[in-house]
Amino acid sequence: MGRVLSGIQPSGQLTLGNYIGAMQNFVKLQHTEECFFMVVDLHAITVPQEPANLREQTEAVAALFIAAGIDPSKANVFVQSHVPAHAELGWLLTTLTNMGELERMTQFKDKSEGKDSVGAGLFVYPSLMAADILIYNSNLVPVGEDQKQHLELTRDLAQRFNFRFGEYFTMPEPYMPKIGARIMSLDDASKKMSKSSPNAGSFIALLDPPDVVRKKISRATTDSGREVKYDPANKPEISNLMSIYSHCANLSMEEIEARYEGQGYGPFKKDLAEHVVAVLEPLQARYNEIRSSGEIHNILKQGAERAAVIANRTVAEVKERMGFIAPR
């Protein structure tokens, strides 16, 4: 059995991109691996968050994990800040990280672009992410394509630590869906679907009501042709919608192409909306149940307790190897 860790930021409404790129794999991996799934609140505050929003979104993301099918008796679900060892290892790894490595990170470049002032936390964010992963000696990290570069840095830091202080950390690998590792915006297929987009029409939120989903899909940008064909280079908009279709209806691209041959985009979009709604409706019903029961707090408490046992052990070992003395 391997170890799996991943995190999602409570920085807005979770989208279909988060679901297809990451959460569907969380659900799959829980059956065969030892899993740790976190709401990464310490990462979310690398851009300004209103305290009331942060509180609400943290509970919402945790409840969405369960609503999406994560079984808390199989996987550990918890909040990053409830296991303070993450922040401690984050600092230790920050001291092993070079400025140049952080300057190259595309997520940092994207999120700091055009801003007058950028917090130092946003810059050192990848070292904390490396700590999240290495603290459990995780070997698999289910993420979307945008996180690949952070994973590469994590491996470099693990190697650097092992070289300087003796073999200790496991080398983690990204685990991505073959299709759908990068779901694009509905209004611009050159941009990733993002929960922090100012245009709500660009993403489908997991909690969007059915009619909103139908409207957003019917308005999604397409090319001026009429052939439903998977061709990401020449038909990026339709190919993106087909990736969503494929995940929600569990059909291959060939099956989707065959189904809409000669029919144009109208019937395709209509059916796509119904497949998305069929995935989201039961998820939303479970979400509402979990939120109103208040049971999420027990789940998070248990998850953090179990995670802390392993995380604390790692930090103690790392500090010992780096030459820190323990209190006696």
Residue numbers at the binding site for ligand ATP (CB under 6 A): 8-9, 11-12, 17-18, 20-22, 143-144, 146-147, 181-183, 192-196
The residue (of 72 and 144) whose beta carbon lies closer to ligand ATP is: 144
DSSP codes, 228-296: ----TTT-HHHHHHHHHHHHHHT--HHHHHHHTTTT-HHHHHHHHHHHHHHHHHHHHHHHHHHHHH-TH
158 makes contact with ligand LTN (CB under 6 A): no
Q: How many residues line the site for ligand LTN (CB under 6 A)?
A: 13
The residue (of 31 and 191) whose beta carbon lies closer to ligand ATP is: 191
Phi, psi of 295 (to 5 degrees): -70, -15
150 makes contact with ligand LTN (CB under 6 A): yes
Cβ density class 243-276: b for 16+ within 10 Å, e for less: bbbbbbbebebeebbeebeeeebeebbebbbebb
Could you tell me if 13 and 205 are in contact, meaning their C-beta atoms sit under 8 angstroms apart?
Answer: yes
Rounded to an integer, what is the distance from CA 279 to the centroid of its chain? 18
In the list 62, 122, 143, 256, the residue contacting ligand LTN (rule: CB under 6 A) is 143
Per DSSP bridges, beta strands 140-142 and 173-175 are: parallel
Q: Output the smallest distance, CB 198 to ligand LTN, in A.
A: 18
Stretch that binds ligand LTN, among 47-55, 139-147, 191-199, 298-306 (CB under 6 A): 139-147
The residue (of 173 and 305) whose beta carbon lies closer to ligand LTN is: 173
Q: What angle do CA 82, 87, 91 make, to 5 degrees?
A: 175
Q: Catalytic: 229?
A: no
Q: Which does 129 bind (CB under 5 to 8 A by kind): ligand ATP, ligand LTN, none?
A: ligand LTN
6 makes contact with ligand LTN (CB under 6 A): yes
The residue (of 46 and 318) whose beta carbon lies closer to ligand ATP is: 46
Q: Which does 182 bind (CB under 5 to 8 A by kind): ligand ATP, ligand LTN, none?
A: ligand ATP
| Cα(21)–Cα(275) distance, integer angstroms | 17
DSSP 20: I
Q: Which does 133 bind (CB under 5 to 8 A by kind): ligand ATP, ligand LTN, none?
A: ligand LTN
132 makes contact with ligand LTN (CB under 6 A): yes
Residue 103 CB neighbour total at 10 angstroms: 10
| Cα(109)–Cα(78) distance, integer angstroms | 29
For CA atoms 259, 263, 268, 274, the dihedral sign is negative
Q: Catalytic: 191?
A: no
Q: Which residues 6+ apart lie within 8 Å of 298 measured at CB? A: none
In the list 24, 127, 147, 197, the residue contacting ligand LTN (rule: CB under 6 A) is 147
Instruction: Write out the binding residues for ligand LTN, residues 110-129 only, by CB under 6 A.
Output: 129
Q: Output the smallest distance, CB 18 to ligand ATP, in A.
A: 4
The residue (of 106 and 159) whose beta carbon lies closer to ligand LTN is: 106
Task: Say which residue the tokens 């007058």 belong to.
Answer: 116
The residue (of 42 and 228) whose beta carbon lies closer to ligand LTN is: 42
| Cα(146)–Cα(182) distance, integer angstroms | 7
In the set 109, 115, 148, 195, the catalytic residue is 195
Q: Catalytic: 192?
A: yes
In the list 7, 10, 72, 177, the residue contacting ligand LTN (rule: CB under 6 A) is 7
List residues with catalytic annotation. 111, 192, 195
Residues binding ligand LTN (CB under 6 A): 5-7, 9, 40, 43, 129, 132-133, 141, 143, 147, 150
